[in-house]
């Protein structure tokens, strides 16, 4: 029998069949065995009510190391153990190396070209290659030891002169190191514009990348509404953030180009690549964003841990005294510790290791499942957000004895507990590319500070003030501002801090 349906009727019937097929497929997927967890509005009340990593820790305690929170069609897979994280993000890294789509941060604010948010594609791999060549091992970082020493001593002097601005001094220390390597830029004494620019940009990055903070990330079509409409304030904010990011990328890059033209450029990642013949626009653009990633990354996570070091020493004088005794026996009082002393200072090494476990600058890492997957009988749908609770893993009582204690001894002896670097620096193909540089700069800062300073609680009006461990921030966190007393250990120690130190051998 010949069909008498018109083309419009055929299209309508076909569309209806497609809708029904999608509905049936969706119902089928929803009935598959998702990890246990919570659904609907309960996700907002339990997960997004305060510090996200605490809500996720509670969810894992209730439902196991692999849990799920579902809102409408969005599934969030929450991982609360190192084993599950390694099984998925390390062993199945092909499926779990991309980031979820980020409309507010990645698209509207422009952060999508920074390696932190880029998907694991050719752009991302080109950045990783540049990082590996520059700071990808202890041996490549070793060529920067003298410069790191110079910046660390400069920071000690600034803290000695103005201890009330401790956090600003530490921030400048790590930003200065990153800028020297990325762009050959020497920060000014006092307030430096590029240090301040990085702080502003990183604060905005943390705000815009916070999971669940922006409706446009849940309903991407909102990105197309005019910015003048009521409720479209996020678009106006994103425009402001994009302007700051533009400066973060362009200002130091143009600085290197001007220095190269004048013949005064210092060695750096940017000057090395820009100085090569046959440079294409594509290579330069890639370099510009890779160098910005190094500058931006070095300006935040390391300084977050560095500031937490002073809190740890304020709260744990026993640990400080034990580290100082080791430093005194190995280094003595006539000089400052250097990288050459590091192998002879096991307690100092354990102290820095414990610091990485105790304070987590990025409590969560987030990925996206590219294709459907199955793990231990549970279904992980393609497109799911996959969150690893780094903060909780580093406080897992199954791994660390008395995890809330600050106890470097846990990493010494015949049976040390697992090194936190396997977790806190990320997993798989997205493991932090600044791992070796960050650890080295942090170690020297801690060692030289303990060699010269006594750090203790403040006393105000005869009352000793005990600061609290309190993480503040969103995607990137810091310890809340606190007060402590920082004094030179002796007149000899003060003289060492003020001693001139040249970058030239």
Q: Is 432 annotated as a binding residue?
A: yes
**To the nearest 5 percent, what fractions of the chain are helix, strand and coil?**
55, 10, 35
Tally of CB atoms within 10 A around 60: 21
Tally of CB atoms within 10 A around 151: 24
Map 77-135 to HEC letters: EEECCHHHHHHHHHCCCCCCCECCCCHHHHHHCCHHHCCCCCCCCHHHHHHHHHHHHHH
For 44, 212, 228, 240, 431, the CA distances from 233, given in Å and listed in that order, are 22, 16, 8, 11, 35
Rg (CA), the chain: 25
Of 198, 195, 187, 192, the closest CA to residue 150 belongs to 187
Of 259, 374, 370, 355, the closest CA to residue 309 belongs to 355
| 8 Å CB contact between 308 and 479 | yes
The residues near 91 (Cβ < 8 Å, ≥ 6 apart) are none
Of 396, 367, 374, the closest CA to residue 76 belongs to 367
Of 22, 117, 46, 37, the closest CA to residue 75 belongs to 37
How far is 438 from 57, CA to CA, in rounded Å?
Answer: 27
For 70, 76, 502, the CA distances from 22, given in Å and listed in that order, are 19, 21, 69
Q: For residue 491, what is the enclosing H or E element?
A: helix 491-498
Tally of CB atoms within 10 A around 182: 27
DSSP secondary structure letters along 11-64: HHHHHHHHHHHHHHHHHHHHHS-PPSEEETHHHHHHHSSS-HHHHHHHHHHHH-
The upper half-sphere exposure of residue 84, i.e. CA atoms within 13 Å in the direction of its Cβ, equals 22
Of 23, 21, 57, 38, the closest CA to residue 471 belongs to 57
| 8 Å CB contact between 57 and 397 | no
Mapped onto helix, strand or coil, the DSSP state of residue 458 is strand
Binding site per annotation, positions: 432
Binding site per annotation, positions for heme: 432
């Amino acid at each position: 029998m010949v069909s008498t349906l018109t083309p419009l009727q055929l299209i309508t019937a076909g569309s209806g069949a497609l809708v029904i097929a999608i509905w049936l497929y969706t119902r089928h997927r929803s009935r598959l065995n998702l990890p246990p967890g919570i659904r609907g509005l309960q996700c907002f009340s339990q997960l997004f009510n305060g510090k996200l990593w605490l809500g996720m820790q509670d969810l894992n305690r209730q439902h196991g190391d692999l849990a799920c929170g579902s809102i409408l069609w969005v599934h969030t897979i929450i991982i609360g153990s190192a084993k599950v994280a390694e099984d998925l993000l390390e062993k199945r890294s092909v499926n779990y190396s991309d980031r979820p789509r980020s409309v507010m941060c990645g698209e509207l604010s422009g952060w999508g070209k920074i390696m932190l948010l880029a998907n694991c594609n050719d752009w991302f791999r080109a950045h990783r290659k540049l990082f590996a060549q520059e700071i990808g091992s202890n041996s490549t970082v070793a060529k920067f030891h003298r410069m790191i020493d110079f910046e660390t001593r400069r920071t000690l002097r600034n803290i000695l002169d103005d201890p009330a601005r401790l956090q600003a001094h530490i921030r400048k220390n790590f930003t200065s190191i990153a800028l020297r390597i990325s762009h050959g830029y020497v920060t000014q004494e006092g307030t430096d514009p590029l240090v301040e620019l990085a702080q502003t940009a990183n604060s905005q990055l943390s705000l815009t990348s916070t999971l669940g903070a922006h409706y446009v990330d849940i309903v991407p079509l909102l990105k197309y509404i005019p910015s003048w409409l009521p409720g479209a304030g996020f678009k106006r904010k994103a425009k402001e953030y994009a302007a700051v990011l533009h400066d973060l990328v362009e200002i130091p890059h143009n600085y290197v180009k001007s220095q190269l033209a004048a013949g005064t450029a210092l060695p750096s990642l940017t000057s090395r690549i820009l100085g090569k013949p046959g440079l294409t626009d594509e290579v330069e653009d890639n370099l510009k964003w890779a160098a910005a990633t190094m500058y931006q990354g070095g300006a935040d996570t390391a300084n977050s841990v560095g500031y937490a070091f002073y809190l740890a020493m304020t709260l744990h004088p026993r640990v400080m005294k034990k580290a100082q005794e080791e430093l005194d026996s190995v280094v003595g009082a006539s000089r400052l510790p250097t990288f050459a002393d590091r192998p002879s200072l096991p307690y100092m090494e354990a102290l820095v290791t414990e610091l990485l476990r105790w304070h987590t600058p990025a409590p969560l890492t987030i990925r996206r499942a590219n294709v459907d997957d199955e793990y231990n009988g549970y279904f992980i749908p393609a497109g799911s957000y996959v969150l690893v609770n780094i903060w909780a893993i580093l406080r897992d009582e199954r791994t660390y004895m008395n995890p809330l204690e600050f106890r470097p001894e846990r990493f010494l002896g015949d049976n040390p507990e697992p090194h936190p670097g396997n977790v806190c620096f990320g997993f798989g193909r997205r493991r932090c590319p600044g791992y070796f540089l960050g650890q080295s700069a942090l170690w020297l800062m801690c060692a030289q500070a303990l060699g010269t300073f006594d750090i203790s609680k403040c006393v105000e009006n005869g009352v000793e003030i005990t600061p609290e461990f309190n993480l503040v921030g969103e995607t990137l966190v810091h310890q809340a501002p606190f007060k402590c007393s920082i004094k030179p250990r002796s007149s000899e120690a003060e003289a060492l801090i003020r001693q001139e130190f040249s970058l030239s051998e």
